[in-house]
Chains A and B, each alone.
Chain A
Amino acid sequence: MSVFNQHKVLETNVFFLAVGILLFVIVGGLVEIVPLFSISSTIEKVGGVRPYSPLELMGRDIYIREGCYLCHSQMIRPFKDEVERYGHYSLAAESKYDHPFQWGSKRTGPDLARVGGKYTDDWLVRHFINPRDVVPESIMPGYPHLRKPLDYSDIAAKLETLRAVGVPYTDDDIKNAKTDLEEQVRSDSSDAAILKRYPKAHMGAADGNPKAISQMDALVAYVQVLGTMVDFTAVKPETIRR
């Protein structure tokens, strides 16, 4: 009888079994979880990634509310065919301010990690209202209710909550959350204050009505910024190779 047949002693004794399981979980946890907090290479050092603007954040909440992540991933994997179709593969740094991240795990529709700038606001609005108006073969449901007004009364509290989990919103950002949100819809000036706080924010009322801020405006602002924050012409491939 070799030593491998002796495990019966452990398995038939509740105390030893419990201690064995505990040791196993502790070692596994230490090896798999702890390094994530100390490895400096997990999140790539690239410029451009910023916290979401208040309007984008509201759009992101709608994205989650409507369950977009069930059919759309936001994760371009480093494979030839994915990069050919969707663009540069996703970086961990690009979702470092996502709580929770929207990588998804199933693609019934296409990946959306770099959808920002691919379509016009006009197209996105038509597509959200009834996808078959623009893509006859689409099986995506319509979301005409997104034309309803956006309730953003708690936007400052949302920013504050995210700050508690590590998103670097400043006091200024939180104080101006409401006006920033309204300015992103209403201003078409290229030197609006919000663009200094949130560079590359997508300005304008997507639904064509700057007077009323709709859920559509928020969702489009979010979709239009996806994957556009990092300027990949300025990123050296060897610095993000993993």
Chain B
Amino acid sequence: MASIEKDSVSGQMTTGHEWDGIKELNTPLPKWWIVIFWVSVIWAIGYWIVYPSWPTTSNYSHGLFGWSARGQLEEDLKDQKLARSQWLSKIEAASVEDIAKDKSLLNYAMVGGKIAFGENCAACHGTGGIGRPGAYPSLADDVWLWGGTLADIQQTITHGVRNSDPASRGGDGSATMPSFGADGILTPEQISQVAEYVVSLQKTPAAGSPGEKIFNDNCVACHGQGGVGGGIPGAPPLNTAIRTFTKPTVEGVIAQVTKPHHGSMPSWGRRLDATTIKMLTVYVHSLGGGK
């Protein structure tokens, strides 16, 4: 070990370590670094006093002003609500019909509705409500399974379809189509006949066909005379090519009549506040030219 000495080039002291004639400098930390270090230590002590930090045996120090992250959030949300209240309080107070009549309010509600739709509804109904063939209905056409008025749409969004919410659409089983094939109510031949008739409704109804009689005996109560719909909510019109689960072909109708698919939708009143649902309602109503 060499002796600790002053290095002639840098003017610093050496540590006394030496390897093959190379000596190690003992350069002290720069002044600015030392100053910042001690200022940080003092800052930390101030931080302990002002903010919640130290645990005690059964609690923790709450800090001088009792600050908390969750309390801060409540303040932030209050400020945000205030900033939006110019419009949101109007929407809160107005009915969906009134919102639709007031141009400036409608503009605001449409923007809010579009954002809420993207986060909550687009997963099934697609961006802009284009739907998903074979799975989820389009909201951008004229067919409304559960009614296309503002009030109907608001009700459907609030309680959903066929879920555990007692007020959900069809939740009481009132809109469940019987399994005509699987439960043996109709024979396969009758199902084929009625399917031919149902497909004919899209253009020229096959009057006098055996399918027409089967249709009138079994289907009219829900799907309406000539398949115009409107029998009960949830039963779609059949005189269009618009389908949710199948293609509008004979095979498609046979599949649905034999063992029907039924859609369901969550109860959004459980997740979203009434104001958001109102904004969603006017937005959805606008997509398909609601009634």
Interface 9-residue window, one of B116-124, B186-194, B207-215, B250-258: B116-124
- How far apart are B244's CB and chain A's nearest CB, in angstroms? 12
- How far apart are B126's CB and chain A's nearest CB, in angstroms? 9
Is A209 among interface residues, defined by CB-CB distance under 8 A?
A: no
Contacts of B135 in A (CB 8 A): 122, 126, 133-134
Contacts of B10 in A (CB 8 A): none
Q: Given that A39-B55, A83-B77 are contacting pairs, would A78 and B266 also be in contact in the complex, using a CB cutoff of 8 Å?
A: no
Contacts of B271 in A (CB 8 A): 87, 117-118
Is B45 among interface residues, defined by CB-CB distance under 8 A?
A: no
- Report the Cα distance A121→B110, complex, angstroms: 29
Contacts of A35 in B (CB 8 A): 55-57, 60
- Report the Cα distance A79→B132, complex, angstroms: 34
Q: Given that A39-B55, A41-B60, A83-B77 are contacting pairs, would A135 and B70 also be in contact in the complex, using a CB cutoff of 8 Å?
A: no
Most chain-B CB neighbours within 10 Å: which of A31, A80, A135?
A: A80
Point out the residue from A36, A122, A242 that lies within 8 Å of B70, measured CB to CB: A242
Q: Mark B60-96, 1 if CB is under 8 A from A, else 0.
A: 1000000011111110110010000000000000000
Most chain-B CB neighbours within 10 Å: which of A126, A133, A241?
A: A241
Is B264 among interface residues, defined by CB-CB distance under 8 A?
A: yes
Closest to A110 in B: B119
- Report the Cα distance A207→B70, complex, angstroms: 39
Contact in complex: B77, A80 (CB < 8 Å):
yes
Q: Mark A107-141, 1 if CB is under 8 A from B, else 0.
A: 00000000001111111001000000111000000
Contact in complex: A117, B270 (CB < 8 Å):
yes
Contact in complex: B55, A118 (CB < 8 Å):
no
Is B8 among interface residues, defined by CB-CB distance under 8 A?
A: no
Contact in complex: A135, B123 (CB < 8 Å):
yes
Q: Given that A119-B124, A119-B266, A120-B264 are contacting pairs, would A89 and B73 also be in contact in the complex, using a CB cutoff of 8 Å?
A: yes
Is A6 among interface residues, defined by CB-CB distance under 8 A?
A: no
Contact in complex: B57, A38 (CB < 8 Å):
yes
Is A93 among interface residues, defined by CB-CB distance under 8 A?
A: no
- How far apart are A36's CB and chain B's nearest CB, in angstroms? 8
Q: Is the interface of B mostly helix, strand, loop or mixed?
A: mixed
Bin chain A's interface residue count: 20 to 34
Contacts of B136 in A (CB 8 A): 123
Contact in complex: A38, B58 (CB < 8 Å):
yes
Closest to A237 in B: B74
Contacts of B55 in A (CB 8 A): 31-32, 35-36, 39
Q: Given that A120-B264, A135-B123 are contacting pairs, would A80 and B56 also be in contact in the complex, using a CB cutoff of 8 Å?
A: no
Is B265 among interface residues, defined by CB-CB distance under 8 A?
A: yes
Closest to B264 in A: A120
Closest to B76 in A: A80
A interface residues, Cβ below 8 angstroms from B: 31-32, 35-36, 38-41, 78-80, 83, 85, 87, 89, 117-123, 126, 133-135, 237, 240-242
Given A35-B55, A39-B58, 15 other A-B contacts at CB below 8 A? A31-B55, A32-B55, A35-B60, A38-B58, A39-B59, A41-B60, A78-B70, A80-B77, A89-B73, A118-B120, A119-B124, A120-B264, A120-B266, A123-B123, A241-B71
A-B contacts, 19 of them at CB < 8 A, read: A38-B57, A39-B58, A39-B60, A78-B73, A79-B73, A83-B77, A85-B119, A118-B266, A119-B123, A120-B124, A120-B265, A121-B264, A133-B132, A134-B135, A135-B123, A241-B68, A241-B70, A241-B74, A242-B69
B interface residues, Cβ below 8 angstroms from A: 54-60, 68-74, 76-77, 80, 119-120, 123-124, 132, 135-136, 163, 263-267, 270-271
